[in-house]
């Protein structure tokens, strides 16, 4: 039976599992060492066999690659290293033929400094795009107009001699901030949304959306008052004026109006930083805003604990219907290290990987799987001289490199570079991850890949796991329990997020999944069990 939203659109996305593809590192079709769109198309059969609902492709737009695609120079074209618009159209057609939805990344807080809009904006204070970016005069002593700091280190302002003003950038100086307060800028961005919807895209992830608007008065940020360790000037401030502006909600409602014109479009906001939960709620409330919000509760957590999961789940019980919004969860992505390397010691990683997949795929909300997570890939150690990540280079060695989670996908264990490319890969693959290649696990019932496929099939088969409410969430030491409910279907879930065994009495019913040897009476190390109530 088709589920519909209040406005009548098919909600294919609610409870969906979305597979993130980082295009540089997924599959290289032409031997240049960089993944591309034809490579993705060739490997979609693997994604379909997993049993996910959609793919999310990180940026592939024209870019000088200062931040590896998140600095967009042309929103309406494909960078030549990834292919052509025709290649993208072929990818969408193949995905749709296989039953997969296609979502893409849109970066609306900033562009590349190579974008034609910025070239025109910096050329003159009177041009057509003069106020499309955030410009400000220097203070009397020549210093920047306020104390805002960039995420990647140093002041969030760069002097431009052509305009004799500073321009604002929340990330690299190569990523000037768009003045999204300006209606003309919003109109141009909405036209970008229409362009990709016209090409058959089914949804969007909006990168750093809470960074899109700021205090137009350029008020100084206050200092942070906590005693956390800090490695960047950015961490010394509460970003109450440089981001999280309430006007983002108005932009979101305009985006939703455009998307509704095209039917069942999935929209998810990336919301990072302190105080993200109220923003996630605001961005997804009701039926005039985004479908979901993508949180960082787990992505940067130093440890996965029962208490952490219980706290997060408690924010999204699913009892308020559309008023509450709908969350999305991920344990790793292109910015956050591999979860097995962050959260488990070497001896426990295989068992932990099974537990982590089971937990992610039973949380209420959408689940995002990052490429290679289904294989149990570990974080690769990239030496300094091979680093590509600008943040890691700038803050070495105090920032854990994002390159270690962006290394290429291993397809063939016995091939050079894991079968990713016939050339030299843009980042090296470790022997350990090559040994976990798709072909080495495919057909092995004991492998993590088979475990992942089985869990995805289980989620599809049970409405309570896919779209049900979450209740009775409790953490007792390492043991986490909660109940998922949809109509008459009730599934009790128990997880031991720790290395010691625990006795645990599950309610009576049918065990539909048992992880790492768990039983209804015992949770071994990293064990989990799901029990479905059976009608009397």
- In 3D, which of 77, 91, 78, 96 has the Cα closest to residue 38? 91
Pairing label, strands 54-57, 17-21: parallel
Residue 510: Cβ-neighbour burial (10 angstroms; 0-12, 13-18, 19+): exposed
Number of Cβ within 10 Å of residue 297's Cβ equals 18
* Residue pair 70/24 in contact by the 8 Å Cβ criterion: no
Tokens 């002041």 belong to: 155
> Which tokens sit at 418?
């894991």
Whether 36 is catalytic is no
Catalytic pick from 270, 378, 389, 391? 270
SS3 472: strand
* Residue pair 269/252 in contact by the 8 Å Cβ criterion: yes
> Which tokens sit at 31?
């031997």
> Which tokens sit at 365?
């909300």
User: To 5 degrees, how large is the angle CA 370–CA 175–CA 82?
Assistant: 50
Determine the angle formed by the axes of helices 448-461 and 349-360, rounding to 10 degrees: 20
CA–CA dist 84, 90 (Å, integer)? 10
Catalytic pick from 207, 335, 374, 378? 207
Number of Cβ within 10 Å of residue 535's Cβ equals 7
DSSP string computed for 418-445: GGS-SS--SSPPPHHHHTT-HHHHTT-T
* Residues in CB range of 517: below 8 A, 6 or more apart: 524, 527
Whether 207 is catalytic is yes
* Residues in CB range of 121: below 8 A, 6 or more apart: 127, 129, 130, 131, 132, 133, 135, 176
* Residues in CB range of 256: below 8 A, 6 or more apart: 267, 288, 289, 290
CA–CA dist 277, 312 (Å, integer)? 9
Number of Cβ within 10 Å of residue 479's Cβ equals 18
Across 214-322, where does the E strand assignment appear?
Answer: 266-270, 292-294
- In 3D, which of 40, 104, 86 has the Cα closest to residue 265? 104
Number of Cβ within 10 Å of residue 153's Cβ equals 16
For residue 201, give the DSSP letter: -
Exposure string for 309-348, b = 16+ CB within 10 A, e = fewer: bbebbeebebeeeeebbbbbbbbbbbbbbbbbbbbbeeeb
List the beta bridge partners of residue 513.
530
Looking at the annotation, which residues are catalytic?
207, 270
């Amino acid at each position: 039976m088709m589920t519909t939203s209040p406005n009548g659109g098919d909600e294919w996305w609610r409870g969906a599992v979305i597979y993130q593809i980082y295009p540089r590192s997924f599959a290289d079709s032409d031997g240049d060492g960089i993944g591309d769109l034809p490579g993705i198309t060739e490997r979609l059969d693997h994604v379909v066999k997993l049993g996910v609902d959609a793919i999310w492709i990180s940026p592939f737009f024209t870019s000088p690659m200062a931040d590896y695609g998140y600095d967009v120079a042309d929103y309406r074209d494909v960078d030549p290293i990834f292919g052509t618009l025709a290649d993208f159209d072929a990818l969408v057609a193949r995905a749709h033929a296989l039953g997969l939805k296609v979502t893409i990344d849109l970066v609306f807080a900033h562009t590349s400094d190579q974008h034609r809009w910025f070239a025109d904006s910096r050329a003159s204070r009177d041009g057509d795009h003069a106020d499309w970016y955030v410009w400000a005069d220097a203070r009397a002593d020549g210093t920047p107009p306020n104390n805002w700091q960039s995420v990647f280190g140093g002041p969030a302002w760069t002097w431009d001699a052509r305009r004799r003003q500073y321009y604002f950038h929340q990330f690299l100086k190569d990523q000037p901030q768009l003045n999204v307060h300006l209606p003309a800028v919003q109109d141009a961005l909405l036209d970008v949304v229409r362009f990709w919807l016209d090409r058959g895209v089914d949804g969007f992830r909006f990168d750093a959306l809470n960074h899109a608007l700021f205090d137009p008065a350029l008020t100084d940020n206050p200092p942070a008052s906590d005693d956390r360790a800090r490695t960047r000037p950015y961490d010394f401030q509460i970003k109450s004026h440089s981001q999280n502006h309430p006007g983002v909600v108005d932009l979101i409602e305009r985006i939703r109006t455009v998307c509704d014109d095209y039917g069942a479009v999935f929209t998810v906001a990336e919301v990072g930083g302190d105080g993200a939960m109220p923003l996630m709620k605001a961005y997804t409330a009701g039926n005039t805003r985004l479908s979901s919000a993508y949180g960082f509760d787990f992505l940067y957590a130093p440890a996965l604990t029962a208490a952490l999961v219980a706290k997060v789940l408690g924010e999204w019980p699913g009892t308020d219907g559309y008023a509450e919004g709908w969350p999305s969860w991920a344990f790793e992505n292109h910015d956050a290290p591999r979860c097995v390397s962050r959260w488990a010691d070497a001896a426990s990683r295989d068992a932990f990987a099974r537990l982590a997949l089971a937990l992610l795929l039973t949380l209420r909300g959408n689940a995002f799987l990052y490429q290679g997570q289904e294989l149990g890939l570990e974080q690769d150690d990239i030496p300094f001289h091979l680093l590509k990540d600008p943040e890691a280079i700038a803050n070495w060695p105090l920032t854990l490199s994002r390159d270690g989670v962006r290394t290429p996908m291993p397809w063939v264990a016995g091939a050079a570079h894991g079968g990713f490319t016939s050339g030299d890969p843009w980042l090296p693959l470790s022997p350990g991850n090559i040994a976990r290649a798709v072909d080495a696990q495919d057909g092995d019932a004991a492998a993590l890949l088979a475990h992942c496929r089985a869990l995805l099939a289980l989620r599809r088969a049970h409405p309570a796991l896919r779209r049900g409410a979450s209740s009775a969430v409790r953490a007792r030491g390492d043991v986490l329990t909660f109940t998922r409910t949809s109509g008459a279907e009730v599934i009790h879930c128990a997880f031991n997020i720790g290395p010691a065994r625990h006795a645990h009495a599950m309610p009576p019913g049918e065990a539909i999944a048992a992880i790492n040897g768990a039983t209804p009476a015992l949770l071994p190390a990293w064990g989990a069990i799901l029990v479905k109530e059976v009608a009397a």
